[in-house]
Structure 1
Amino acid sequence: MAGPSAAEDVVRGFLRDVRSGRHPDRAGRYPAPRVEAAQGRPGAVRAVVRRAPERYAEHVREMLRTAGPWLFQVTGVIDTGGQVEAPWRQTGTAREGPRVVEHGSAGHTVREGRTTRYWIEFHQETRPAGPAADAAARRSHPTRERSP
């Protein structure tokens, strides 16, 4: 059985290191010098921005300053031959607020070992923070534990 494709490795590394908030300074390893980022799947795009790796790193740092740390779980990575898609679940607690769970997905186009374009879509839900709420979240939204 074949292992992950090189494109999958790029996407897994980016999500594990950068998007997770663990090492935003590693943003230069994965994307091309300019990346087109679309909010929404192709055909349903709501906004497009162009980012350099250092701007994406700053974007992640700003999210950390605003929302605080989070748990980021990639629930699968699928190489469709032209794009690598990766659904995720992000859980955190808003500063002095409720627990926030974000379910999202991204599709990355990888060329010559670098992401050149990606789209994201997500939705958020809020829940009271605490162990009972965490247990209820696991029951209602089970995730397949799969490392990025």
Structure 2
Amino acid sequence: MNESKKVVESFFAEVRSGKKLQAAHDFLHESVVAHQVQSENEYTITRTPQDYIDHVKEMQELYGQFTLEIQELLAEDNKVYVRWKQTGQISNGKTVVQIASAVYLVEKNKISEYWIQIDRKGLELQD
């Protein structure tokens, strides 16, 4: 298996899932460029491993201990494409599903950059 693919798959299983947040330091460089690809407002932020931990904690606050299912995982050299389905519950107990995808750039066995797209309209319609 492609080494970059292994890194991203393990990152999802441990960190993005919320199961082992401190492992973010093992999978992310100290500064990760995160491109938020939105059709109406693309922007780029920089995240540290701690920023990413806080980001997942925010999702846990919003959706509880959500489930995360990788639906597709493709790799070419040091770029890895992932499409996933995240299912959780909002405060009123209603189940919400989020579909998203991202391309991760892996350098020296850690994620250094990613481009993410989220079906924000689909999520909004579930509120």
Given the two structures, how large is their TM-score scaled by the length of structure 1? 0.76
Q: Find the partner of 2:19 among 17, 22, 40.
A: 22
Say if 2:4 and 2:77, in contact at 8 Å, map to a contact too. no
Aligned 1:65-80 pairs, distance under 5 A: 65-80=61-76
Does residue 35 of structure 2 align to residue 48 of structure 1? Answer: no
The residue number in structure 1 matching 2:112 is: 116
SS at match of 1:95: coil
Q: Find the partner of 1:34 among 31, 34, 51.
A: 31
**1:45: Cα distance to partner?**
6.9
**1:82: Cα distance to partner?**
4.3
Structure 1: distance between partners of 2:84 and 2:43: 20
Aligned residues: 124
Is the radius of gyration larger for structure 1 or structure 2? 1
Identity across the alignment (%): 27
Structure 2: distance between partners of 1:26 and 1:18: 6
Q: What amino acid sits opposite 1:90 in the alignment?
A: Q
Go from structure 1 to structure 2 and tell me whether the alpha carbon gap of 1:114 and 1:45 turns closer, same or farther (over 3 Å shift).
farther
Q: What amino acid sits opposite 2:80 in the alignment?
A: V
Task: Supply the RMSD in Å over aligned alpha carbons.
Answer: 2.1
Task: Mark the runs of 5 or more structure 1 residues left unpaired by the alignment.
Answer: 129-148
Say if 1:38 and 1:45, in contact at 8 Å, map to a contact too. no
Task: Mark the runs of 5 or more structure 2 residues left unpaired by the alignment.
Answer: none
**Structure with more of its chain in strand, by fraction:** 2
The residue number in structure 2 matching 1:93 is: 89
Q: What amino acid sits opposite 2:4 in the alignment?
A: A
The residue number in structure 2 matching 1:13 is: 10
SS at match of 1:101: strand
Structure 1 runs of 4+ with >2 Å offset = 124-128
**1:67: Cα distance to partner?**
2.3
**1:90: Cα distance to partner?**
0.6
Given the two structures, how large is their TM-score scaled by the length of structure 2? 0.87
